[in-house]
């Protein structure tokens, strides 16, 4: 009787049972995964800690919740065909056999996307590659890109570096850089002509921006081949080339990355210029395959390295080359990136340089105008297995929210990009594999890279711009392309990075020959945007659409703009700590970063659910410590050294 009754089910009941069984199976699979992951972590990883384990559990549990949610969302619509409000489209299967929607729920839960707004913003800068059949080495490197608020209206303007003339490339007019003014309504206007920025055919690569003369307006340093240029901002929209008087031309060298910092704490910003290789374009090495005559861009091993230069700011518009005095003469360098930050926490800014095929350099500041090479002791010169890699980009950030700056260096294809964990005792540990920033990018050649909290959840994420050096790379490695996707990693907490590139739109995933990356909030909405410079292609502006994501609505932010009085006016070298409840985040106003590019000078903090900051503490390079209490979130706070803080209001869009 009972068995007969069981056979007589109500219509639709079988479907419900099937759904329930499927849900239970799904949960069981995930419980098994929890146990598996826990076992692997406990047994197999040197970096296992209670925190990481907790985090892994949290991720997997979140995944389970996401799966349950997705399950309930995919249940059939009720009789009558009404679809529930907020019902989601059927999930797409991806090639891992896991539904893409579930992956998005877990790895990009706030659904923050970047949109290519280059064209609608009115930016139409094209980098001239200066390509020749001879494949001059200069052609494939560069360019960088910059954010600079040149007219000091609180809105970031954009500056693009261009190439120049070579013995094999001499058009009627030399390629020119470009300055675009931010119209405060999402668009830009090309103001290059009125800015009087015009170059003479010098081949430029990178850019560093800072207010070196403390007059309140940011100035521009452009790195170039055989000659670099300092452009003083005249405060009326025009710039003057003051290189000769300043004595910072770096003549004869191939300058790449540069950065500003006040290494001797005298209140005046000094200039660190890194140089690549000793290269003679008039008698170029021609590289490639001899028998076939097939030309290729040279390998850096063909050339000798070139030492960086440190220029001390004398405060009267002139600088003195103090490279030797400071102990920085090292011709092993084939440098492409620099980050200037206090890496050992002693209050003095240090120098980290990424070198191509040579070890990186870490120079710690002795506090007496000299530096010591601490690379080997600090363990940041090589990959974990002792190889010097390609070193195209560098950044430093607190990705653990523990007050220690980790170092990131990007590399070529078939090398892993490296993350070095700061152990807080002057040493670092290669954290690449454990952190997850290496593997998914193995076929890409990574140039510009920056840490920033793209979804404002309180954890700094990582954006990497890719593009190969060799335009014929598929001939050598068919699986590698010249144009490459960008890579976005989300920090899932405690420096566990997950590649979320596939959760971004097609604009973001379009392939380019990526080089420079400048991160900045050009529309002052608190969601950080970015500029990309591509070799031989149009530059790109990506807008962070986080502000219009319903899922991200609960995430808050705070930006800090510093005005130094005793310290250098830009506050470069200042350390900032933010506390909100049990949340704490730390950063510094750093010099250099990324690949040959200049970043938003403000420091941004994602705050997650915190809509107020309990304390904001600024430790200025002068040593003065300034503390502000109960600061509202979702605003740019301007802190003037020793004076006070105010929330900046941005003027309404002005008529065009
Ligand atoms: Ca200035
Ligand atoms: Ca100084
Ligand atoms: Ca984040
Ligand atoms: Ca923005």
Grade residue 19 by pLDDT with cuts at 50, 70 and 90. Answer: low
**Structure token digits, residue 379:** 């363990």
Which ligand has the minimum distance to the alpha carbon of residue 489?
Answer: 3
Q: With CA atoms as reference, report the closest residue to 125 among 217, 29, 197.
A: 197
Expressed in angstroms and rounded, the spacing between residue 457 Cα and the centre of ligand 3 is 5
Neighbours of ion ligand 2 (CB under 5 A): 262, 264, 266, 268, 270
256 pLDDT above the threshold of 90: yes
Grade residue 24 by pLDDT with cuts at 50, 70 and 90. Answer: low
pLDDT (0 to 100) of residue 549: 97
Expressed in angstroms and rounded, the spacing between residue 329 Cα and the centre of ligand 2 is 19
Question: Across the beta sheet with 255-261, what order do the strands follow?
Answer: 255-261, 270-275, 309-313, 319-321
5 pLDDT above the threshold of 50: no
Neighbours of ion ligand 3 (CB under 5 A): 453, 455, 457, 459, 461
DSSP state of 92: P
Expressed in angstroms and rounded, the spacing between residue 606 Cα and the centre of ligand 3 is 7
Q: What average pLDDT does the structure give for the chain?
A: 88
pLDDT tens column, 513-530: 999 999 999 999 999 999
DSSP state of 263: T
The Cα-based distances of 548 to 366, 551, 554, 565 in angstroms read: 47, 9, 11, 38
pLDDT (0 to 100) of residue 358: 96
More confidently predicted of 497 and 64? 497
Expressed in angstroms and rounded, the spacing between residue 604 Cα and the centre of ligand 4 is 11
Expressed in angstroms and rounded, the spacing between residue 559 Cα and the centre of ligand 4 is 12
Angle CA 332–328–341, to nearest 5: 105
pLDDT tens column, 593-619: 999 999 999 999 999 999 999 999 999
38 pLDDT above the threshold of 50: no
Expressed in angstroms and rounded, the spacing between residue 432 Cα and the centre of ligand 3 is 18
Check: CB of residue 606 under 8 Å from CB of residue 455. Answer: yes
DSSP state of 68: H
59 pLDDT above the threshold of 50: no
CA atoms within 13 A on the CB side of 72: 7
pLDDT tens column, 313-359: 999 999 999 999 999 999 999 999 999 999 999 999 999 999 999 99
Which ligand has the minimum distance to the alpha carbon of residue 605?
Answer: 3
Which ligand has the minimum distance to the alpha carbon of residue 210?
Answer: 1
Expressed in angstroms and rounded, the spacing between residue 123 Cα and the centre of ligand 3 is 28
User: Among 144-153, 288-297, 536-545, where is mean pLDDT lowest?
Assistant: 288-297
561 pLDDT above the threshold of 80: yes
88 pLDDT above the threshold of 90: no
37 pLDDT above the threshold of 90: no
User: Among 190-194, 272-276, 475-479, 596-600, where is mean pLDDT lowest?
Assistant: 475-479
Grade residue 49 by pLDDT with cuts at 50, 70 and 90. Answer: very low
Question: CA 469, 475, 479, 485: dihedral to nearest 10 degrees?
Answer: 30
pLDDT (0 to 100) of residue 289: 81
The per-residue b/e assignment along 483-516, b for 16 or more CB within 10 angstroms, e otherwise, is: bbbbbbbbbbbbbbbbbbbbbbeebbeeebbbbb
Expressed in angstroms and rounded, the spacing between residue 486 Cα and the centre of ligand 4 is 19
Which ligand has the minimum distance to the alpha carbon of residue 622?
Answer: 2
């Amino acid at each position: 009787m009972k068995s007969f009754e069981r056979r007589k089910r109500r219509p639709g009941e079988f479907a419900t049972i099937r759904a329930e069984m499927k849900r239970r199976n799904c949960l069981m699979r995930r419980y098994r995964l929890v146990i598996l992951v826990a076992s692997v972590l406990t047994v197999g990883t040197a970096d296992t800690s209670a925190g990481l384990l907790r985090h892994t559990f949290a991720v997997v549990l979140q995944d389970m919740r996401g799966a349950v949610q997705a399950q309930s969302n995919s249940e059939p619509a009720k009789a009558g065909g009404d679809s529930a409000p907020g019902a989601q489209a059927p999930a797409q299967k991806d090639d891992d056999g896991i539904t893409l929607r579930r992956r998005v729920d877990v790895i990009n839960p706030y659904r923050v996307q970047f949109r290519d707004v280059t064209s609608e913003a009115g930016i139409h800068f094209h980098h001239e590659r200066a390509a020749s059949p001879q494949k001059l080495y200069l052609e494939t490197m560069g360019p960088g890109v910059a954010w600079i608020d040149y007219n000091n209206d609180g809105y970031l303007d954009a500056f693009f570096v261009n190439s120049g003339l070579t013995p094999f490339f001499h058009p009627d007019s030399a390629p020119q850089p470009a300055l675009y003014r931010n119209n405060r309504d999402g668009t830009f206007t090309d103001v290059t002509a009125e800015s009087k920025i015009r170059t003479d055919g010098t081949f430029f690569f990178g850019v560093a921006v800072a207010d070196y003369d403390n007059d309140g307006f940011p100035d521009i340093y452009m790195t170039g081949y055989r000659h670099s240029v300092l452009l003083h901002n005249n405060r009326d929209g025009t710039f003057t080339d003051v290189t000769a008087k300043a004595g910072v031309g770096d003549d004869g060298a191939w300058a790449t990355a540069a950065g500003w910092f006040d290494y001797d704490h005298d209140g005046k910003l000094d200039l660190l210029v890194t140089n690549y290789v000793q290269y003679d374009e008039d008698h170029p090495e021609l590289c490639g395959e001899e028998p076939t005559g097939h030309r290729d861009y040279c390998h850096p091993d063909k050339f000798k390295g070139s030492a960086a230069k440190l220029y001390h700011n004398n405060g009267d518009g002139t600088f003195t080359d103090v490279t030797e005095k400071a102990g920085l003469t090292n011709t092993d360098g084939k440098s492409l990136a620099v980050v200037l930050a206090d890496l050992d926490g002693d209050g003095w800014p240090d120098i980290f340089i990424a070198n191509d095929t040579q070890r990186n350099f870490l120079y710690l500041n002795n506090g007496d105008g000299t530096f010591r090479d601490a690379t080997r002791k600090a363990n940041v010169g090589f990959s974990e297995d002792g190889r010097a890699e390609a070193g195209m980009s560098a950044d430093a950030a607190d990705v653990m929210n523990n007050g220690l700056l980790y170092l990131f260096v990007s590399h070529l294809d078939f090398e892993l990009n490296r993350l070095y964990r700061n152990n807080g005792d002057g040493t670092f540990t290669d954290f690449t594999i454990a952190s997850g920033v290496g593997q998914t990018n193995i076929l890409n050649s990574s140039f510009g890279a920056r840490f920033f909290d793209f979804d404002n959840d309180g954890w700094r994420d990582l954006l990497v711009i890719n593009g190969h050096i060799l335009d014929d790379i598929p001939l050598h490695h068919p699986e590698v392309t010249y144009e490459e996707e960008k890579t976005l990693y989300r920090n899932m907490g405690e420096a566990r990075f997950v590649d979320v590139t596939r959760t971004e739109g097609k604009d973001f995933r379009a392939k380019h020959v990526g080089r420079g990356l400048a991160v900045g909030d050009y529309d002052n909405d608190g969601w950080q945007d970015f500029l990309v410079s591509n070799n031989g292609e149009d530059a790109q502006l990506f807008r962070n659409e986080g502000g219009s994501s319903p899922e991200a609505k609960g995430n808050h932010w705070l930006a800090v703009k510093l005005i130094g009085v005793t310290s250098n006016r830009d506050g470069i070298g200042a350390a900032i700590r933010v506390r909100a409840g049990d949340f704490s985040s730390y950063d510094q106003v750093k010099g250099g970063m990324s690949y040959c590019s200049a970043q938003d000078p403000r420091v941004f903090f994602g705050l997650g659910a915190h809509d107020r900051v309990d304390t904001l503490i600024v430790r200025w390079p002068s040593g003065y410590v300034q503390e502000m209490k109960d600061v509202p979130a979702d605003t740019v706070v301007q802190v003037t050294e020793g004076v006070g803080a105010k929330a900046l209001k941005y003027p309404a869009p002005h008529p065009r």
